[in-house]
Structure 1
């Protein structure tokens, strides 16, 4: 980062495969950008869906990397996926279409899905043809997932779903949605009685309404389930174990390089301007401070990827990465604003990236769980050790 592409992960010093893979991705992205296929953006993993670009990546084997070969994937390691993800994020490439499906839902389906679900969804994810959104957050609930009010009632031949989800990223172009709903009474335990469902979209009894962000863009949605009946085969994993399954998924969602690299394209442009314009000592110190923080966070994120590769579920560590990483992303934007002169506005590319960063930064510490929730996860987890 300011930045990430200038340094290598410790394992890459002895594993030439990771270095070669990183260079392949970098070369591909340079050619695509030169051809005008994409324009770098901040927050590209959430705000820049491009199904055609996703299919290009899939043809090169860079989507569904950790999905087993038996299910159409490539059987590669989380560290290999980490290297590819870093390069895509550093370039600000348009990867939002497949990001959620590839990052956390594919591993969840591998771990919890039936054989039918694995064979139906996993090969399509790896081909870049199946995009999945997540129905977790609800109105008036914030990050308190235990307060889920959406209900799944067992009916003849399947389940009837009733309730509302909000801030559902990508539901307007997704082929399926993974829903967290209450199937059973919690009997005094707030986290009990929850289950997950793989729901195909579109559905006649499911309405997807746009929620526009401050920049007028459409990434989020409100999704209303109006007694929507889905097949019994839609249940993902074990009935009543939705909370445990979601917790395992969040280790993937919260720990990846996207939790600290959303603003790297802006940071790279900042460094380039400073280099070309002869930055003063104050700006150089700011760049050094940000780079040092980026390196430390990157090592933390890589450590979680290594834990996932070993089959562990580092939910506490992932929460810590997300908490610190999202604050760091906001700090990058503020550092650039503090140290950039008014003349920077003359550079349209730099001004565009700065505007991207400023408008998107408020959500960094909200999505994936607010920082307050994450700190409670870390506190409880450390207290139990």
Structure 2
């Protein structure tokens, strides 16, 4: 049985490729009437404009700081007594909140951060994973790859020295969860470890789980030098991981809608397969998974000028949107924002990306404007579409704060 909560494995079903043309004109007309307060002045909000976007919001603007302060205050008010946010069966949810606070350098939240870290640490298992074992009841726990990867990364960002033994055990767990053999998923990661007995265990990998796992292993690799003498070091088989990720990128240059983008999984009900001009069956490219693939390639040490990276960034530019997750609509929208900001910060190396004709997209500006516009009056963020639990303000507020942190270079 699969949990509906996948900690944002958001490139799963239907596709509707983003079109510009008339839609862009309509959005541009609506944008003329919209405003956002920036440094005390009313400024026009421009979304989806094909022409170069004027710089309306900078990462260090007062309006951005105010939005972060309000979001942090909301998290403070809604942290449970045990230190968690949201569903306590998934420590990764609380870890996202902790990670968001740390990424925004909130020293004023020291007590709340420690409570969250204590809660997360309570889920450390004998196998090294950080998760709650699932029962046959939906929503009871499990998803050991997602939870362990996010928890170990958050603890590392928070106080890596204090949690080094736990993180090293988690690294061993994640390294041992990588799929092997001759299957199409070899090199990647699924919901659970390869030896898991969870009701949700499966023998195929997907790009969402793989992305979280590779991120965690790369960001915590500095601790390997602190392993006790004689203890075997743990790492990903990066060559195999990259080979898996490459399988999910559309490489058919004649398929302009999908070329350069990434799908969720090869085969299976959520591959989004479509007919390609070269390959008999090509994966549908999704916004969130294209950014996840981009991030995975960078962490696998593929250079920014590599054709695989350049074609992924080009796909992102062709299908640019802050109003929807391309191919998914409103589903997983705030995860899309988070992975977009992180991967473009890694791969683009600047504040803009370019469309095919050289027209710049001020991605940081557009994304900040959108986030300021979507923040609720109480300081939280939430998605009106509950797919992947994004109607949960604790989850989505963490995503929004993480996104702002990445834009600011934290």
The TM-score normalised by the length of structure 2 is 0.24
Structure number with higher relative contact order (C-alpha < 8 Å, ≥ 6 residues apart): 2
Query: Higher helix share goes to which structure?
Result: 1
The TM-score normalised by the length of structure 1 is 0.26
Query: Higher strand share goes to which structure?
Result: 1
